Each structure stands twice: as structure tokens, then as C-alpha cells.
């Protein structure tokens, strides 16, 4: 069994990446928070401590994020 709480996620590059975070009381966006392209059926979703959320397409995950 995999525990996702133990996963580390970081940006692959020091280049600025603009992430559009949705407000905590807003419905989930239907577009990627970076490229604004369509999302896969089960997108990567992240939340900040204030409840703001963002969803990412597979292409942006591959280009911008590193799992450790």
C-alpha cells in the first residue's frame, strides 16, 4: 500500500511557474492550473493550507514537477 502523505513534490526548475489557485469556496476548475489545458479523468490535485486548490494535467506534471 502506498501512502501519499509520505511523498515529496517539488518543482523541477527554478524558473517561475504561474499556478492559478482556486478559492476554497469555489467549484473545482476544469482546466490545468498551469497551461489551462484539459484535465485527465483523475488529475493531480494540490491544496494549500488556506484551502485553495489547483489541478494539473499530465503534461504539466511531467514538465514541472518531480516526485521523491
- pLDDT tens-place values along the chain, 68 residues long: 455 566 778 888 776 789 999 998 888 889 999 999 999 998 989 888 898 999 999 999 999 988 87
* In the chain, domain spans: 8-67
pTM above 0.85, yes or no: no
Burial class (CB in 10 A: 0-12, 13-18, 19+), 33: buried
Distances (CA, A) of 12 to 55, 60, 68: 17, 11, 11
Q: What is the pLDDT of residue 9?
A: 81
Amino acid at each position: 500500500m502506498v501512502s501519499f502523505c509520505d511523498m515529496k513534490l517539488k518543482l523541477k526548475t527554478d524558473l517561475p511557474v504561474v499556478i492559478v489557485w482556486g478559492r476554497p469556496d469555489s467549484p473545482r476548475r476544469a482546466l490545468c492550473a498551469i497551461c489551462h489545458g484539459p484535465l485527465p479523468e483523475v488529475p493531480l490535485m494540490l491544496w494549500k493550507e488556506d484551502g485553495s486548490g489547483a489541478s494539473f494535467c499530465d503534461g504539466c506534471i511531467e514538465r514541472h514537477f518531480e516526485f521523491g
